[in-house]
Amino acid sequence: MNLIQAIRTIPDYPKKGIMFRDITTLLGDAEAFRHAVDALVDPFRNEGITKVAGIEARGFILGGAIAYHLKAGFVPLRKRGKLPGETYAVEYALEYGVDSMEMHRDALIEGERTMLIDDLIATGGTAMAAVDLLRRAGAEVVAAGFVIDLPELGGAQKVIDAGVPVSSLVTFAGH
């Protein structure tokens, strides 16, 4: 199946010059969604993954389905202030500002084999912040999966350089 055909491109969103890769069309196509989940699961099916961490918001949709297939628990990585209870937090740089994400302190047990999931990796800032957050909580981050990679921006390579194997399903040139 050609997943690129299931992904809508919206020019000049959220700002001029950006080609926004929208996976909501892929999620709405049952065959494409099933194919994407299976393709993200397959390389890591026998890695003993016990938790899947999904980055808000599309990482929740994909991560929940992947956790189900791996018979693993799910850990939401959310924007600051969205989780009740005690959390770990990390701030990270964006293209035009700073953001932060949090996870519950009790979401992981020391040494749990964890897979990180999101819809897209670009510069790697969000993914690297997530890896740092998971490691701070004691996770062994054994994999990261993304539907889309924008390789020219180098994010996947940053995650690989941090010792985390990366799987992505499609690549797009440019931003």
Structure tokens at 129: 């912040």
Asked if the model's pLDDT at residue 93 lies above 90, the reply is no
State which H helix or E strand residue 121 sits in. Answer: strand 113-121
pLDDT confidence of residue 175? 63
Mean pLDDT of 148-159: 96
State which H helix or E strand residue 148 sits in. Answer: strand 140-149
Q: For residue 127, how far is the Cα from the chain centroid?
A: 7
Q: What is the pTM of this model?
A: 0.95
Which domains, from first to last, does the chain contain? 46-171 (3.40.50.2020)
Mean pLDDT of 89-114: 91
Report how far residue 174's alpha carbon sits from residue 78's, in angstroms, rounded to the nearest whole number: 27
User: What is the pLDDT confidence band of residue 25, given thresholds at 50, 70 and 90?
Assistant: very high
Asked if the model's pLDDT at residue 41 lies above 70, the reply is yes
Report, as residue numbers or ranges, the catalytic residues.
Answer: 58, 95
C-beta neighbour count of 152 within 10 angstroms: 12
